[in-house]
Structure 1
Amino acid sequence: MTTWLITAEETVIADGAAPHRQIEIIRKVHGNKTREEALVELHKAAKSHVPDSLKGTSRVVGRDSDGSCWILPKNGKGHPPCVIRFVEQIHP
């Protein structure tokens, strides 16, 4: 059985600290899903996910050629993007 992990990856900029990447699992897709079926779930997650850095900001969701999604501020200014990706979980 394949489990897909849908992750959100953001660049976090804290006051006075160097920017760092933060990755969180926002959804798990269980069952015998194909990559294409997992992509459908990825797109649903990207449309509904609101990154902390973009709360209260108008945003737009775009899809990259590899299937990942970008959540960007609609005006294109002031906020780092959030990338929504999926990976296959490897069970030990």
Structure 2
Amino acid sequence: MSTWLIVAEESVTAEGASPQRHIEIIRTVAGGKSREEALAELYKAAKSHVPDSLKGVSRVVGRDGDGSFWVLPKSGKGFTSCHIRLIEQV
């Protein structure tokens, strides 16, 4: 049985500074869940996760072609993004 990790990778670039990356496991999906069940958990996590750099900012969540999600500032302006994806723990 697989254990799945829902991982958020936050990237923040301040003007004139090097990009800063922060990676965190926001949820573990265990208990013999299938990939499809884990993807359903990924969807829930992506809709509710608020990256530190986007707290207090209106944001939008979008699904990428590979099934992962992006959390971005709704205005489209700013230097921050958060990529949320599912990975299998080995």
Q: Deviations over 1:29-84 (max 9, x none)?
A: 01221211111100100011000110000111100111100001111101311000
Identity %, equivalent residues? 71
Paired position in structure 1 for 2:43:
43
Q: Note the C-alpha offset of 1:20.
A: 2.7
Q: How does 1:1-92 map to 2 (within 5 A)?
A: 1-13=1-13, 17-90=17-90
Distance 1:25 1:62, change over 3 A: same
Q: TM-score, normalised by structure 1?
A: 0.88
Higher strand proportion: 2
4+ residue stretches of structure 1 with deviation over 4 A? 14-17
SS in 1 for 2:40: helix
Q: TM-score, normalised by structure 2?
A: 0.90
Question: 1:77 corresponds to which letter in structure 2?
Answer: K
CA distance in 2, matches of 1:70, 1:81: 7
How many residue pairs get aligned? The number is 90
RMSD: 1.6
Q: Note the C-alpha offset of 1:17.
A: 4.7
Structure 2: runs of 5 or more not aligned: none
